[in-house]
Amino acid sequence: MASTMMVLDPVAPLQHAARTQTVLDGLAGKTVGFIDNAKPNFQYLVDELAELLVSKYKVAAVIKHRKSGQVPVDEAVLKDYEERCDAVITGSGD
């Protein structure tokens, strides 16, 4: 008796071309961007991290963007972050 099995691949297709990654020599004088995916409490984590990055690691600027849940970040935001930021942190809270 032959049987078949369906295997589903849970990996979503890429929506954007891969971006170049760079290793930073430090954070002093750099601009760090945060992309908030609208999970509860992430904004509090971002605020605390931003304060720490500026006070302890001498980050020059912090940029924040809050996106809408499961919707991908708009390409214009990605382009802006690519031009302005030295590092970008995405994340979630709860």
Predicted pLDDT at 31: 97
Token match 């990654």: residue?
A: 21
pTM more than 0.95:
no
Mean pLDDT of 4-25: 75
Mean pLDDT of 77-88: 94
Concatenating the DSSP letter of every residue in 16-74 gives S--------S-STT-EEEEEE---TTHHHHHHHHHHHHHHHH--SEEEEEE--TTSPPP
